[in-house]
């Protein structure tokens, strides 16, 4: 219906796939690295840690522990 979807026109798709593939492959490697180095071992502490004040005089946060534990237990 779209007329002669000409071959020539599409060869660029290969380029895009290659380019996209490079990125995807790169991210895959990053993923493997992250898992292997234990980046995702503990998913409970980081969200709380980032709330911590950046210097001692800062205020630290107040997530209620129950809520947090629930989050942990529930998934």
Partner 1 sequence: MQIVETVQTRAASTSTLPSTAVSAPVVDPGASCRHCGLKCDGGLVWSAEGIFCCHGCEAVFGLLQAGHLAGYYASETPPGVSQKYRATLDANRFTPLDDPAIAGRFVEFDDGRMAVATFSIPTIHCASCVWLLEQFWRFDAGTTRTEVNLQRRAVRVEYRPVETSVRRIAEHLSSLGYEPVMAAETPGGTVPSLRRRLHLQIGIAGFAFGNIMLFSVPRYANGAPLADGFQSLFDALNVVLVLPVLLFSASDYFRIAWHALRRRTMALEVPVALGLVVLFSRSLADIASGRGPGFLDSFAGLVFFLLIGRLFQQKAFDSLAFDRTYRSFLPLSVRTERAGGAVPTPLEQLQPGDRMVLRRHEIVPADAVLVEGHATVDYRFITGEEAAILLRAGDTVRAGGRAGCAMRLQVVRPVSQSQLASLWANPLFGAPKARWMADIAARFGAWFTVAAIGLAIAGAAAWWPDAAASASVATAVLIVACPCALTLSAPITLGTAMGLLGSRGLYLKQPAVVLDLSRIATVIFDKTGTLTSGRTRSVAEADGLSDRAWTLVRRLALESTHPVSAAIAADRDHVLEGVENGAIAAALPGPEDVREIPGQGLSGTVAGVRVAIGSAAFVAAATGRPPGRADRTWVAAGDEWGWVRLAEASRPGVEDAAGELADDRRLFLVSGDVDTDHARWSRLFGSNMRFMQSPEDKLAFVAAVQQGGRPALMLGDGLNDAGALAAAAVGIAVSDDSACMVPACDGIISGDRLADLPAFLRFARRARHLVIACFTISIAYNVVGLTLALTGALTPLASAILMPISSLTIVTLSAGGMRWSARRMLPA
Partner 2 sequence: MTTLIVESDHGLIPHVPTHVETFSYDNAVVRLFAIATAGWGIVAFLVGLIVALKLVFPELLGGIGPLSYGRLRPLHTNAAIFAFGGNAIFVAVYYSLQRLCKARMYSDRLSAIHFWGWQLIIVLAAITLPLGFTTSKEYAELEWPIDLLITGVWLVFGWNMLATVIRRRERHMYVSIWFYLATFITIALLHVVNSLELPVSLLKSYSMYAGVQDALVQWWYGHNAVAFFLTTPFLGAMYYFIPKAANRPVFSYRLSIVHFWSLIFLYIWAGPHHLLYTALPDWAQSLGTVFSIMLIAPSWGGMVNGLLTLRGAWDRVREDPVLKFMVVGVTAYGMATFEGPMLSLKNVNALTHYTDYIIAHVHVGALAWNGGLAFAMLYYIVPRIYGTKLFSLRLANLHFWLATLGILFYVIPLYVAGITQSLMWQEWTPEGSLRYPNFLETVVRLAPMYALRAVGGTLYLAGAAIAVYNLYRTARQGVFEPGEEASAVPLQRLVAPGGSSWHRVLESRPVQFSLLTLGTVFVGGVVEFVPTALIRSNVPTIASVTPYTPLEVEGRDLYIREGCVGCHSQMIRPIRAETARYGDYSKAGEFVYDHPFLWGSKRTGPDLHRVGGKYPDAWHFVHMQQPSATSPNSIMPAYQWMYVDALDTSHIEGKIITLRRLGVPYPEGYERRAEADLRVQAAGIADGLTRGGVPARGDREIIALIAYLQRLGTDLGKVPAAAGAEAAAHTIGSGGQ
In this structure, what token pair is assigned to residue 7?
Answer: 């071959």
Residue 68 and residue 35: Cα distance in Å, rounded? 23
Residue 29 and residue 53: Cα distance in Å, rounded? 33
- What's the closest the beta carbon of residue 26 comes to partner 1, in angstroms? 12
Nearest to 50 by CA among 37, 40, 63: 63
| Segment 20 to 49, residues that bind partner 1, using CB under 8 A | 24, 28, 31-32, 35-36, 38, 40-45, 48-49
Residues forming the site for partner 1 (CB under 8 A): 7, 10-11, 13-14, 17, 24, 28, 31-32, 35-36, 38, 40-45, 48-49, 51-53, 56-65, 68-70, 72-75
């Amino acid at each position: 219906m779209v007329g002669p979807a000409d071959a020539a026109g599409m060869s660029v798709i290969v380029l895009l796939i290659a380019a996209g593939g490079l990125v995807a492959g790169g991210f895959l490697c990053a993923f493997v690295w992250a898992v292997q180095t234990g980046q995702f071992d503990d998913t409970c502490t980081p969200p709380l840690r980032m709330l911590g004040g950046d210097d001692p005089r800062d205020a630290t946060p107040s997530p209620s522990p129950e809520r947090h534990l629930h989050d942990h237990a529930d998934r």
